[in-house]
Structure 1
Amino acid sequence: MFRRVAIVGGGAAAVALLTELVDRASAPLHLDWYTGGAAQPGRGIAYGTTSPRHLLNVRAATMGMFSRRPRGFLDFAQRADTQVAGTDFLPRRWYGDYLEDQAANALAQSRSRGVDVRVVPFAADALVPEIDGVTVVQGERASRVDAAVLAIGALPVRPLDGVETALLAEGRYVVDPWSFLASSGPHTAPREVALVGLGLTAIDVLLDLADRWPDTHFTAVSRHGRLPAAHLPVSTVPDDDGGALVEAMHDAPEIRRWLHLLREAIAAGDDWRVVIDSLRPSTHQLWEALPLAERARFLRHARWAWERARHRMPPQVERQVLALEREGRLRRVRGRVTAARSRGGHVELEAWHAGVRSSLLADLAIQTIGLDTDVRNTLHPLMRQMVTNGHVTPDPLGLGCQATPDGRLCHDGTPWPRLFGIGSLMRGARWESIAMPEIQLQARVLASQMLEPAAAPARRRLASQAG
């Protein structure tokens, strides 16, 4: 068991782990929680929005999937509003409130459970992992802990290649949409806005700005020009646990074969969403089974389709987006944006589709491509330090860090025994690693590892060898 643990990060993943550790602790434990200066620890970017138009993209009851308290969020929401149902898509700010409440409860209960929590309202400047512990540097202070967990969430957003520096300086190309939404107002309304990307982030930005700027028109540019799929109006459950499909996919870890199996399963069912949802508990195991070359093939050819099918819009959000299209306020364009330039007080986007170049003029362009997980060239100071010093090895496909499925971060192919990751940094090891249910599962696994008696891993190894 680790007696002193550092949690580095102030978002949802950090709160999930903090809660699990406090709840499970059966012996004295010291936690150093580096919240990164977050004004509201726990909310992070995902749940920091205050807009009522930004909804969770899963039903309220599903937010507790894989957790020890599956009804936790639903019970919290129903205490605030007795009319809430488990099938509702609730505002994301509600989940942010829930996370804040969970963090406050964990801190309040920590003393009675023998857990000493030191909240450090700053970011860790450096981590130095070793075989027998980790040194955490913050300012002029260095602290030695038995283990550290990187729960840093989203990396700082970077502009796409080809965006002119001058355009960024003018403020006509927005890289961070969330900061922009928090600071913009009606008096800044442009006539034409271009959205670079068409995933769930783009939908959030679109709905918020369309409401603030009723006379603005939007053009969304993405490689395939397709909206995220929508959930069914009613909740459904798989006809079975998807076991036969998962087993067949395990037997043939190759993307072309998997696509064939998925098409067969969808053709035999009532709705494709049921098939996709049946894979959720097994997604990380299927990803682990894929060779690196097949993972790269998936990212090149099938990622967009998976993201569209897996991360879906609530039905009421789809209705709002389609209404904007019918009104002529939203136009979708297919193309890969390769350049953005300042042109006579406007933004000129250059895009290519099927070998044909096109250009688009707008008053403002907003980059809405979603989460950045590539630590190889990140602007995040701590991750840059760790990559530069060779303490962690980037995932070769830009999906966080190399890691074992149970969360241990690697250097030169070797996992550290006392340095762990959770959430976005684990995407290369687990693929589905950024949604709250999956993060809750990771938190449970990490807490079990950290609080496990020291002799237990040795006993398991001996039992395995004997077998």
Structure 2
Amino acid sequence: MTVSDQTQACDIAIIGGGAAGVLTAIGVLRGASGALRLAIVEPQLPLGRGVAYATRHPEHLLNVPAGKMSGFPDRPDDFLDYLVAQDAFPGVERDALAQAFVPRRHYAAYLRQRLQEAVEASPAQLDVRAARVVSLEKQADGIVLQLDSGQPLLAASVALCTGNALRPLPARGAGAVPPGKRIEAWDFDAVQDIAATADVAIVGSGLSMADSVVSLTATGHRGQVHVLSRHALLPLPHAKGPAADYDPEPLLAMNLRQRVRALRRHAAEAAPRGIPWQNVMERIRPLGQALWQSLSFDDQRRFLRHVVRYWDVHRHRIAAPVHAQLTELRRQGRLHLHRGRLETAIAEGACVHLGALDPGRQPFQIDAHCVINATGVEMRAQAMRNPLLQQMLGSGAARPGPHGIGIDSAADGCLLDADGIAEPRVQVVGSLRIGRLWESLAVPELRGQAQQAARSLLGVVA
């Protein structure tokens, strides 16, 4: 792979070099039958990290066992094979490693190695451009990408793999809180640099919050930690036990209320048999996208309004050791959970004052030395603060997905413009498809979409 600032044209361009972009590139390289030109445009190198796997800290674990993290549908043990070949965990048997929640930093290295192997075995050429795409224009002879370097790149086909965007801190005055006192949860090094005695407020109680707490614990943090969220629900752990054996297919014909009742019934029936509720949820995992798409538009809106946070904590679970750390900190009286809606953030002297409203709309205040924004992934296309997406939406080259979530795409991943017309030269991969598919963030979805996108991109070039 070469980092290039000379390439002016290519056959296929991939916008984004995180997991989705790298998996798509590997699919193109493996499927190429001739000397085509492939470019990955990514401002933050090295490749393969994105937001999910950018951390270098060993306390940040994958939320899925290693044996289920292969990047390729046709090679289900590939990530496990990589860990064994690298001797990443000496003395750990392969079967035990398959069940382990390993540090996330291994996954970025895995993606880069598989990409390098694909480059070496492919007749195609890969150029990596350390730049940001700021606009996309459809022309008769291809797709013109304008880079922030000022240089245009002409591609016959394009994969849009821009990855996740962080929600801004939802408080008046947040922009005036200085950087040292306002920290993004995805800035892992900044979280680790927080003083050991500082009292910390974390806004959001999901997976990013868990990352922040384990980072603080790893550095010997001794101050108080206050977690503020609207529902005050912490992530739940994975569990071992027998697999659930009920038939999930009837759920597809039910409305939202019926589905919730049915899942509760299945969990209650499973418990006396020693089957944990987590395994009841695992039973519907392959149907995630079908369950979303079979809901009526109104039921989807009800889900987003009333159910989504409960779904998140049951569906997106964390490793048991991470959950144990959170539980122990609460037992010690060092981790405090507050239910409320953040309203204001004001820096004053050494403190940050967070003003919030409780469920009864009564005001209360949390005082801390710094605040961590752990509000998670921004799903609304108009709020993503991505110049490329803003340009595409403004020009009509794209439209928001259902409910304003993500970017709209057809069933085969083709970009849909403002009039709903598919553009087969542009494939959408990953989190941008969440409004249409809902389940579009995790590796099982990414690897399937990347494989489909690679075939489509190669078909356009052919």
Once the two structures are superposed, the pairs formed by residues 30-41 of structure 1 within 5 Å of their partners are: 30-36=37-43, 38-41=44-47
Q: SS in structure 2 opposite 1:450?
A: helix
How far apart are the structure 2 equivalents of 1:304 and 1:245? 22
How far apart are the structure 2 equivalents of 1:158 and 1:329? 26
- 1:101 — aligned with what? 113
RMSD after superposition: 2.2
Deviations 1:104-163 (A, max 9, x none): 2222222xxx21222222122321135763222223433332211111112254231424
1:354 positional shift: 2.2
Q: SS in structure 2 opposite 1:359?
A: strand
- 1:339 — aligned with what? 344
**Which residue of the other structure, out of 107, 110, 117, is the alignment partner of 2:126?**
117
| Aligned residue type for 2:127 | R
1:89 positional shift: 0.5
1:344 positional shift: 4.6
* Of 201-210 and 143-152, the range deviating more from structure 2: 143-152
How far apart are the structure 1 equivalents of 2:156 and 2:236? 44
1:66 positional shift: 6.4
| Aligned residue type for 2:332 | E
- 2:158 — aligned with what? 148
How far apart are the structure 2 equivalents of 1:26 and 1:285? 34
Report if the CA contact (8 A) 2:226-2:337 is conserved: yes
How far apart are the structure 1 equivalents of 2:296 and 2:36? 39
Deviations 1:159-185 (A, max 9, x none): 314244322x364222x2222x31455
Once the two structures are superposed, the pairs formed by residues 54-453 of structure 1 within 5 Å of their partners are: 54-64=60-70, 67-79=73-85, 80=87, 81-82=89-90, 83=92, 85-110=97-122, 114-130=123-139, 133-138=142-147, 139-167=149-177, 169=178, 171-174=180-183, 176-179=184-187, 181-183=188-190, 188-232=195-239, 234=240, 236-239=242-245, 244-246=247-249, 248-252=250-254, 254-269=255-270, 270-355=275-360, 356-412=362-418, 413-452=420-459
State the identity %. 31
Q: SS in structure 1 opposite 2:172?
A: coil
How far apart are the structure 2 equivalents of 1:146 and 1:443? 18
Report if the CA contact (8 A) 1:407-1:421 is conserved: yes
How far apart are the structure 2 equivalents of 1:66 and 1:15? 12
Q: SS in structure 1 opposite 2:98?
A: coil
Report if the CA contact (8 A) 2:238-2:317 is conserved: yes
Which blocks of at least 5 consecutive residues in structure 1 are unaligned?
456-467
1:332 positional shift: 0.9
Report if the CA contact (8 A) 1:245-1:261 is conserved: no
Distance 1:398 1:363, change over 3 A: farther
| Aligned residue type for 2:307 | A
Q: Does 1:21 align with 2:28?
A: yes
Q: Does 1:4 align with 2:11?
A: yes
Q: SS in structure 1 opposite 2:127?
A: strand
Runs of 4+ in 1 over 6 A off after TM superposition: none
How far apart are the structure 2 equivalents of 1:379 and 1:185? 26
How far apart are the structure 2 equivalents of 1:210 and 1:140? 44
How far apart are the structure 2 equivalents of 1:164 and 1:312? 29
| Aligned residue type for 1:9 | G
* Of 306-315 and 185-194, the range deviating more from structure 2: 185-194
Q: SS in structure 1 opposite 2:164?
A: coil
Report if the CA contact (8 A) 2:191-2:212 is conserved: no
Deviations 1:206-254 (A, max 9, x none): 110133243211011112222111011x3654426xxx323x22223x2
1:35 positional shift: 2.0
1:399 positional shift: 2.1
1:268 positional shift: 2.3
| Aligned residue type for 1:141 | Q
Report if the CA contact (8 A) 2:156-2:461 is conserved: no
Provide the aligned length of Structure 1 versus Structure 2.
440
Distance 1:453 1:383, change over 3 A: closer
The alignment's TM-score, normalised by the length of structure 2, stands at: 0.89
Distance 1:255 1:184, change over 3 A: closer
| Aligned residue type for 1:339 | T
| Aligned residue type for 1:136 | L
How far apart are the structure 2 equivalents of 1:354 and 1:131? 55
How far apart are the structure 2 equivalents of 1:127 and 1:321? 44
How far apart are the structure 2 equivalents of 1:13 and 1:381? 19
| Aligned residue type for 1:101 | Q
Report if the CA contact (8 A) 2:59-2:218 is conserved: no
Distance 1:453 1:146, change over 3 A: closer
- 1:463 — aligned with what? none
